[in-house]
Amino acid sequence: MAEKIIVGVSGAPVSDRAVDWAVARGRARGQSVELLAVVGGVVGAVGEASVLERAMAAAQGMLDEQAARAGGGTATRVLAGNPVAHLIDASKDAALLVLGSDYRGPESGPARGAHGIRIAAGAHCPVVVVPDIDVDDRAGVVIGLDGSAVSERALAFAAGEADRLGEKLIAVSVWTPLTAPRNALAVYPEMYLANMQAVTEEMQGLALAGLASEYPDLVIERVVERGYPSHIINAHAARARLIVLGSHGRGALARFLLGSISQEVLERLATVTAVVR
């Protein structure tokens, strides 16, 4: 198993937060950290070589400063080309890929662009996106559970992180009543609503059943609610130190697509967010 954490570093201030998160995780888990910067926009134009040389030197200087701030043993690497492609390729040999986002939460404006989402969807390892938000005064690790195989892998990741951080694990499962054209305002039978709640609670209970033996001291808070998943998940994430979700991409093409809920959560980051394949 790869034991290296790769951090995509840019010139944005949030890079400090991303590096700090990765270094703390690496120290706790005995994993090495490599800082990676990619100089984009290379097209092979006449006279580009000298510009590229200066840009790569500047990027290396930036990484050297980050490595010195992080302490000894932090490797650095500078590449030129497509940042999305290079970071996805680098993830093949990583245990974790960490990215920074200058997004400051759901109240800070429109949803952000697709680069981070494309990387999270295409990466070969779990991806952690660190927003420009101070989460030190928050508590809990949220895991979105839907009963799928990938959410089981996300649960294993979340439980490990909650144990590492000494935080409670907040398991969130959301159910949504079926909808039909011209039926948005329908009154649902109480038995149907009660059964949906019960089925979701049972699914969540089965998913959580084995955690006590592996993490006997882990405190688990169970949440089962009716509503739209990304809205409810982000509401809990806004009070948490970390949220973990599964990516539902499958196959050669689907590997570059996130499940809709994971994408919606990433578009409006409320806290540090991990996406597990």
Domain chopping of the chain, boundaries:
1-102, 135-277
Placement of tokens 């955690």 in the chain: 211
Beta bridge pairs of residue 233: none
- The CA distance from 221 to 231, in Å, is 19
- Write down the number of H helices and E strands in the chain: 10, 10
For 188, the token pair is: 């649902």
- The reply to whether 135-277 shares the fold of 1-102 is yes
- What single string gives the DSSP state of each residue in 52-110? HHHHHHHHHHHHHHHHHHH-TTEEEEEEES-HHHHHHHHGGG-SEEEEEE----GGGSS
Ramachandran assignment for 84, one of left (phi > 0), alpha (psi -120 to 50 degrees), beta (any other):
alpha
Q: Each residue's pLDDT tens digit in the chain (277 positions)?
A: 458 999 999 988 999 999 999 999 999 999 999 999 999 877 677 778 889 999 999 999 999 999 999 987 899 999 999 999 999 999 999 999 999 988 776 666 655 545 678 888 889 999 999 999 999 999 999 999 998 888 999 999 999 999 999 999 999 999 998 876 655 556 788 999 999 999 999 999 999 998 999 999 999 999 999 999 999 999 999 999 999 998 864 433 333 345 677 888 888 889 999 999 8
**Residues belonging to the chain:** 277
Helices (DSSP H) in 106-225: which residue ranges? 115-122, 149-165, 190-208, 211-214
Architecture of domain 135-277: 3-Layer(aba) Sandwich (3.40)
Specify the pTM. Answer: 0.88
CATH 3.40.1360.10, applies to 1-102: no
Strand 32-39 versus strand 74-80 pairing type: parallel
Compute how many other C-beta atoms are within 10 angstroms of the C-beta atom of residue 72: 6
Q: How remote is the C-alpha of 75 from its chain's centroid?
A: 22
